[in-house]
Amino acid sequence: MSRVALVTGAARGIGAAVVDQLAGEGWQVVAVDLCADLPGLCYPLGSKEELSALANRWPGRVLGVVGDVREQEALTEAVARAESEFGGLDAVVAAAAVMAGGKPLWETTNAEWDALFDIGVRGVFNLARAAVPALLRRPEPRSGRFVALASAAGHKGLWHLAGYNAAKHSVVGLIRGLATDLRGTGVTATAVSPGSTRTAMLDATADLYGLGDVEEFSQHQLAERLLEPEEVAAAVCWLCGEQSSAITGTVVHADGGFTA
């Protein structure tokens, strides 16, 4: 029987790469994305066209759902669709996040701070509230998986990105607490912390710093190159699988050596 996943932030970047890899491995996936831009952010977010293209690549396997992770009801409905249309839920990936910053913390606006925390932290919280009960509804022995995208910024300070630092540190703490709450259930909770990955979010970060070439970020990684979304997605998808049962309450650093 095919395993079923729900992925937020799915229209592009690492989220889309996760959906593609899971679908390619035979999973059925509910792919959720806001598909709209937000105030306080200086770059466009994923689009309905990108989400539709993702679903069209995998007819019958990927269900595209427009939904806002800031709204509990939207995620509850997405989980309900996973159960009603695919028969249950086995793994959840919280990949929705945004970038804001480029200035000292004391100059950060309320709109920037709210976007970082409402999407990147409250969105993970809302997803856990919606999805963990569904993971626990699977019969024992369970092998449910909750995976959140953190960041190398969740482990060290980055210049003029204090708000982003704070949000990603929060994700790591949330995952540690969630894993502890799930003790003995067979459901695990983990985080994946990417380094500089070739995505639209990294382009937005380069713009915040006034960099002419996104490749400048590669100097911070032992790999001496930018990571591709598919490389990070490979770590996420392994954690979604049944074979990752020994990993919970911790972080996998898919960062090219950024935090070494």
Q: Is residue 91 helix, strand or coil? A: strand
Tell me if residue 209 is catalytic.
Answer: no
CATH topology of domain 4-252: Rossmann fold (3.40.50)
DSSP tag of 226: P
The pLDDT, as a whole number, for residue 146 is 99
- Residue 121, judged by CB atoms within 10 A of its CB (0-12, 13-18, 19+), counts as buried
Own/partner pairs, 155-162, CB within 8 angstroms, 24+ separation? 155/193, 155/251, 155/253, 155/259, 156/259, 160/101, 160/102, 160/103, 160/104, 160/208, 160/209, 161/101, 161/102, 161/205, 161/208, 162/101, 162/104, 162/105, 162/108
Mean pLDDT by 10 residues, the chain (260 residues): 95 98 98 94 95 98 98 98 98 98 96 96 98 97 98 97 98 98 98 97 94 94 98 98 98 97
Q: Is residue 203 helix, strand or coil? A: helix
**Residue that has been written with the tokens 């929705």 in this structure:** 96
The pLDDT, as a whole number, for residue 37 is 95
- Nearest-angstrom CA–CA distance, 175 and 119: 16
User: DSSP assignment of 240-254, as one string?
Assistant: HSGGGTT--SSEE--
Residue 184 Ramachandran class (φ > 0 left, ψ -120 to 50 alpha, else beta): left
The pLDDT, as a whole number, for residue 1 is 75
The pLDDT, as a whole number, for residue 214 is 95
The pLDDT, as a whole number, for residue 39 is 86
- Nearest-angstrom CA–CA distance, 98 and 168: 11
The pLDDT, as a whole number, for residue 181 is 98
The single residue of 113, 146, 164, 217 carrying the catalytic annotation is: 164
Dig out the tokens for 56 from the structure: 């069209």
